Structure 1
Amino acid sequence: MQSYLKSLLSTYPQIAVILSVLISIVVSILGFIPSTFVTAINLKIFGLWEGTIISFLGEVIEAIISFVLYRKGFNRIVEQKVSKYPKVQQLLHVTGKEAFLMVFSLRLMPFVPSSIVTFLSAVGKMSPFHFFMASTLGKIPALAIEVYSTYQIVTWTKQGKFLLLCISIFLLVYGWRKWKSISK
């Protein structure tokens, strides 16, 4: 899939930026595909700085569109389901400065799934403006970390090799623990 998207963006350079942003939006709405692969493609095709700016633009636009779609589509359903759980209701009714800081802090963590943060914000009582500001400001450092990591791996530097080694060890340990817990 990644090679197909890279080929698509390379084939149509005049609309590659728009296509990349649209791909980011689709990835966000689907909610289960990590945006890192879009960042990797952007870095390969557009280079470090332009790829970073395009990835940031895509993530900001996709967050706004996803927020609106989630709010329109899931708000009533979640309200009905959550009425039985007062603790969850409290979380969804956070507003103002508290909601801003919550979204901002979650966005600072680059590997917290963006779609989950957007979904919880959308079905809650957070205003679209506060969400946009907190999400955008929080995305800056998170995307910087994501771009750095992805760039190191894509260009196969020593740091990239080390990052892949750490990720591989983590996945092996995690998989081993899961397998051991299942086999008991």
Structure 2
Amino acid sequence: MSTYKQFGESDISGGIKNKVGDFSIDWFPTHPFLTALVSIFLNVLIAITGILPSAFITVGTVGILGFRLGLVILIIGEAIGAMVSFILYRKGVHKLSTYPDIKKFDNKLLRRLKSTGGAEAFFIVILLRVLPFVPSGLVTLTAAISKMNFLHFSIASTIGKIPALYIEAFTVFQVLNLKTEWKLGFIISVLLIIILYLLWKSLIGKK
């Protein structure tokens, strides 16, 4: 048996290759090493552009690599993506126009981060990463135009991302192992929640 076959067919940290139950993951490479590279690349792309949803990356990564290894790869991808974005913002490659509503997004922690540095900025970034209602790119942008240095931002950003990534990866892993009817029910429920949220946001915006 070849090394590739042994590696590809083994249970990698609880992984299930390109199928979990009857859920097929056809749009991700099945080789673990390629899966890791694609996952990291897509996470960096999302961090820079913000045009792709990250959920499908989590599904592909965890579905093939399993929960533990998949989580590690997701953390690496998120960390590199944040660091690349930070550098681009600081060098002026990304402009403030990336977030046209930045002035409308009033947050005390963001204002504080913009004018501080050192240990205080470090812990503010961790807190902002943990908070679900503050856009990730906005935190990176604010840190980039603050007095915070690259190393402190990289460490704080990665630490702050771990709780959310853990919950997301664990949830996806559990859902992928559900029976088909439960998966469909879960997907429909999520779609309904998203639709209701968008409707609520639209109604609030009209007031």
Q: TM-score if structure 2 supplies the norm length?
A: 0.66
Residues 7-156 of structure 1 mapped to structure 2, 5 A cutoff: 7-10=27-30, 13-73=32-92, 91-109=113-131, 112-156=134-178
Q: Report deviation, 1:91.
A: 4.7
Instruction: Output the CA distance in 1 between the equivalents of 2:206 and 2:111.
Output: 37
Q: Report deviation, 1:119.
A: 1.8
- Residue of structure 1 aligned with 2:197, choices 165, 168, 174: 174
Q: Report deviation, 1:7.
A: 3.2
Question: CA 1:100 to 1:161, structure 2 compared with 1: closer, same or farther past 3 Å?
Answer: farther
Question: CA 1:40 to 1:103, structure 2 compared with 1: closer, same or farther past 3 Å?
Answer: same
Work out whether residues 107 and 114 of structure 1, in 8 Å CA contact, stay in contact via their aligned partners in 2. yes
Question: What is the root-mean-square deviation of aligned Cα atoms in Å?
Answer: 3.5
Identity across matched positions, percent: 34
SS of structure 1 residue aligned to 2:29: helix
Which amino acid is 1:170 matched to?
I
The answer for the alignment partner of 2:18 in structure 1 is none
Q: Report deviation, 1:34.
A: 3.1
Which amino acid is 1:151 matched to?
F
Q: Report deviation, 1:76.
A: 8.3
Q: Report deviation, 1:150.
A: 2.2
Instruction: Output the CA distance in 2 between the equivalents of 1:113 and 1:156.
Output: 31
- List alignment gaps of at least 5 residues for structure 2: 1-24, 103-107
Work out whether residues 35 and 61 of structure 2, in 8 Å CA contact, stay in contact via their aligned partners in 1. no
Instruction: Output the CA distance in 2 between the equivalents of 1:139 and 1:159.
Output: 28
Question: CA 1:160 to 1:101, structure 2 compared with 1: closer, same or farther past 3 Å?
Answer: farther
Q: In proportion to residue count, which structure has more helix? A: 1
Q: TM-score if structure 1 supplies the norm length?
A: 0.73
Work out whether residues 62 and 173 of structure 2, in 8 Å CA contact, stay in contact via their aligned partners in 1. yes
SS of structure 1 residue aligned to 2:163: helix
The answer for the alignment partner of 2:105 in structure 1 is none
Work out whether residues 95 and 126 of structure 1, in 8 Å CA contact, stay in contact via their aligned partners in 2. yes
